[in-house]
Amino acid sequence: MIPQEIEEYAERHTTPEPGFLAEIARETHLTQVYPQMLSGHLQGTLLRMLSAMLNPSRILEIGAFTGYSAISLALGCSNPEGLVHTIEVNPEFEEIINRAIHKAGMESRIRLHLGDALRIIPGLDEIWDLVFIDANKSGYLDYYQLVFPRVRPGGFILADNVLWDSKVIGHSVKNDKDTEGIIRFNEFVTHDERVDHLLLPFRDGLMIIRKK
């Protein structure tokens, strides 16, 4: 993990987050048990910039939480036909996410799906330019294998938390399904000759994958 003082320095030297994203972040920290699941200022800005660089038409997010990352991806996309499909398994977040999307004025750019991503994704008739995986860690490889055939050549898959609080290094993973899932995913991608990839030691680790 990045030392707190370094993260604060980086935030001070990064474009400020829009006011509505700051409101979403504040509400998340006030109301949620695990607010650290939020992408936040630095990662949100990175997602926005990556989306701006790629100018995707179709984005898939697996794991919406309170909507911050979906909005960041949508903000960066200048493609007039750009659309973010975001999936959240927990129906208790529906109102929070919809309220966040409304605050951002992104109702026409973000489509929320509630339920199990493994069931929802096959029903989405899209070719993905960009996929962001940030859901249950034990399912990362399942999500990757499911979306991969419908990612266009040259498209990107991003996976968050791939360092998993450093548990991927030198720790016993017995009976730890999340850590086992992250390690399994990282190893699979490392040996997947269909892609180029970078494990970026940013926050809790971000895997950037480009389909050849």
Looking at residue 33, its pLDDT comes to: 84
DSSP string, 75-119: HH---TT-EEEEEES-GGGHHHHHHHHHHHT-TTTEEEEES-HHH
Tens of pLDDT, residues 28-83: 999 988 888 899 999 999 999 999 999 999 999 999 999 999 999 999 998 888 99
Would the pLDDT of 172 be above 70? no
In CATH terms, the fold of domain 4-211 is Rossmann fold (3.40.50)
Average pLDDT (71-99) is: 95
- Please report the pLDDT score of residue 34 as a whole number: 84
Mean pLDDT of the chain: 94
- The residue among 166 and 191 whose pLDDT is bigger is 191
Q: Is the pLDDT of residue 173 over 80?
A: no
Q: Flag whether pLDDT at 7 surpasses 70.
A: yes
